[in-house]
Every structure is written in structure tokens, then in C-alpha cells.
């Protein structure tokens, strides 16, 4: 942690630099999404563009977390809390995914109302 006046003066320069980097990264994200010759994968938006967009966002987020939020030199307690939240975050992502392994089979949609009809579907066998 920058605590002495000299260290803080030095850190301020770094903050400014990181701020600039974040601005540049933002421009790059928009460029990747809008300029045709920077379009990766297929023409138009596709999974590759999504991955690249999120990678740039992750870089930006890391810069904010490590420099602005001082995670580059923090105490063990803080790292533990963050690790915990990261694990729980990942669990949450897959928690939604588990809904798709739901063994209950739904009937056909009822024409017109757009809702699933939870009447059991009989499978001809």
C-alpha cells in the first residue's frame, strides 16, 4: 500500500496511466464491435465476438481491481473473501444451468397463449 508521500505521488501517476489504458480499451471494444475489418469469426456478431468483447472487459476489470482497488498488495483476508465470492459466483452461474437438466418433461405449448402446458406428455413407445 502506498503510504509515504513519495509512494503516493508515484501511485498517482500509475492511476492516471491506468485510467488512460481503460479509455483505450473502451475504444477498442467499440471498434471491435463496429468496424467491419475488425470483425472476428463470422460476419456480424457471433460467439467469437462475444468472447473477445468479454476478454477485453475482463482485462479492464482486472486493471480496476488490481490497481484502483489495490488488490495488487492486499492482505490475505481480502484474497480469501474474493476467492470465496469467485467460487460462489461460478456456482451461481451453473446453478441457472442446472435448470436445463430438469427431468420433468413439459407438454407442447398451447397454441396461442405461449405458455407451456404442464400436462404430462405421453411418449408413444
Partner 1 sequence: MDIPYTVTARKDTGLFNSKVGIWLFLASEVMLFGGLFSGYVFLRIYADYPWPERALPIVPGLINTFVLIGSSVTVVFAWAALKMREWRKFQIYMGITIACAGLFMILKGIEYKAKLEHQAVRMDDFAMIEGHAHYAVVDDDGNLAHSDTKLKAKKLGASGAKPFKANAILFEPETIDFSVARAHGPWVEALLEQAGKRKSKLVTTENLFLYGNIEDYAGTEEDPLSTKGREKAESELVAKYAKAEEKIGHEFGESSLYIPSGTELSYNLLKKAREVYVSGRTHNAIVRTAILKENWKRVKAKMPDDKYWIQAPEAKIDAATQLDEQFDAQGKCVAGSKVVSVVSTLSFAMDPPQPIVINRGWVKRPVKAKEGKAELRDDTSFNAGDGEGSAPGLLESPLILAVDAIDLRWMAQKAEEAGKDPAEVIEKSWLFSEENKHHKKYQRIWDNHKERIAVLEENLLKDYGRDKEGNPKRVPTETDRYRITWQDLVHYARANQNEERPLKAGEDGYDDLRPKFWNGFAGPNHKDEEIHKLHAFPELEIPHQKVSLQSMFTPKWNTYYAVYFTITGLHGLHVIGGAIVLGYYLFFSKGLYRRNPEWLANRVEIGGLFWHFVDLVWIFLFPILYLM
Which residues form the interface with partner 1 (CB under 8 A)? 2-3, 5, 8, 11-12, 15-16, 18-19, 22-23, 26, 29-30, 33-34, 42-45, 49-50, 53-54, 56-57, 60-61, 64-65, 68-69, 75-78, 81-82, 84-86, 88-89, 92-93, 95-97, 99-100
Cβ 17 to partner 1 shortest distance, Å: 10
Distance of closest approach, residue 123 Cβ to partner 1, in angstroms: 21
Q: How far apart are CA 74 and CA 2, in angstroms?
A: 11
Left, alpha or beta for 21 (phi > 0: left; psi -120 to 50: alpha)? alpha
Paired with 109 in beta bridges are 116
Amino acid at each position: 500500500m502506498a503510504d509515504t508521500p513519495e509512494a503516493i505521488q508515484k501511485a498517482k501517476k500509475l492511476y492516471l496511466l491506468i485510467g488512460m489504458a481503460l479509455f483505450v480499451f473502451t475504444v477498442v471494444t467499440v471498434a471491435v464491435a463496429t468496424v467491419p475489418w475488425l470483425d472476428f469469426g463470422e460476419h456480424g456478431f457471433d460467439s467469437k465476438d462475444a468472447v473477445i468483447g468479454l476478454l477485453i472487459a475482463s482485462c479492464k476489470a482486472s486493471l480496476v481491481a488490481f490497481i484502483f482497488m489495490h488488490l495488487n498488495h492486499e492482505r490475505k483476508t481480502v484474497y480469501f473473501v474474493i476467492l470465496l465470492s469467485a467460487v460462489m459466483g461460478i456456482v451461481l452461474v451453473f446453478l441457472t444451468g442446472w435448470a436445463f437438466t430438469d427431468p420433468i418433461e413439459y407438454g407442447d405449448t398451447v397454441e396461442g397463449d405461449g405458455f407451456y402446458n404442464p400436462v404430462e406428455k405421453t411418449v408413444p413407445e
